[in-house]
């Protein structure tokens, strides 16, 4: 794991941030190798999934205020499962490998506890995304299940996906 060379501030997403966030998300989702969003998802579909439906959405800003990443937090389930949250993280291509995802995940865990969540679950961590799997494990998440062929990778075909989990509050 590398660490960020410059300070990163994480704050709630503002409406004015969307024109910068959308291209970062679009680039990631079009690659078809880490997220289950259809590569041809529309801006409106992604806005709804990333901003409107979650309980909160955040951006990570570099030293100059530029947006270098974003994440959302939401209940993983409704009702009796709503105490477990789910998050999604995307880092701008130019900021990958600088520790931004790690900082956002650490922030999201603190945010989750503040919001009353007791645990965090990632439902579909693509097994071929070794960088993400290693990072989440480094941050205390365990692979609690593997779903054979559950992700249709754009270049590798059907690959396994992990369910990863971490208890935040005992």
53 three-state secondary structure? coil
Q: Which pLDDT tens digit goes with each residue over 63-104?
A: 999 999 999 999 999 999 999 999 999 999 999 999 999 999
Contact 88, 71 (CB under 8 A): yes
47 three-state secondary structure? helix
Q: Which pLDDT tens digit goes with each residue over 134-168?
A: 999 999 999 999 999 999 999 999 999 999 999 99
Structure token pair of residue 120: 């965090």
The residue among 102, 110, 97 whose CA lies nearest residue 135 is 102
Structure token pair of residue 9: 């501030």
Angle between helices 130-138 and 100-114 (to 10 degrees): 50
């Amino acid at each position: 794991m590398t660490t960020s060379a410059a300070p990163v501030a994480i704050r709630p997403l503002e409406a004015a941030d969307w024109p910068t966030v959308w291209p970062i998300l679009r680039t990631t989702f079009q690659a078809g190798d880490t997220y289950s969003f259809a590569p041809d998802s529309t801006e409106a579909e992604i806005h709804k999934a990333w901003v409107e439906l979650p309980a909160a959405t955040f951006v990570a800003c570099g030293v100059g205020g530029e947006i270098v990443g974003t994440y959302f937090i939401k209940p993983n389930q409704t009702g009796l499962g709503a105490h477990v949250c789910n998050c999604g993280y995307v880092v701008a291509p130019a900021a990958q490998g600088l520790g931004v995802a790690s900082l956002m995940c650490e922030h999201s865990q603190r945010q989750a506890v503040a919001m009353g969540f007791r645990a965090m679950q990632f439902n579909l961590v693509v097994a071929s995304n070794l960088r993400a799997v290693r990072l989440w494990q480094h941050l205390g998440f365990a692979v609690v299940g593997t779903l054979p062929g559950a992700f249709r990778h754009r270049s590798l075909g059907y690959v396994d996906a992990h369910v990863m989990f971490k208890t935040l509050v005992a």
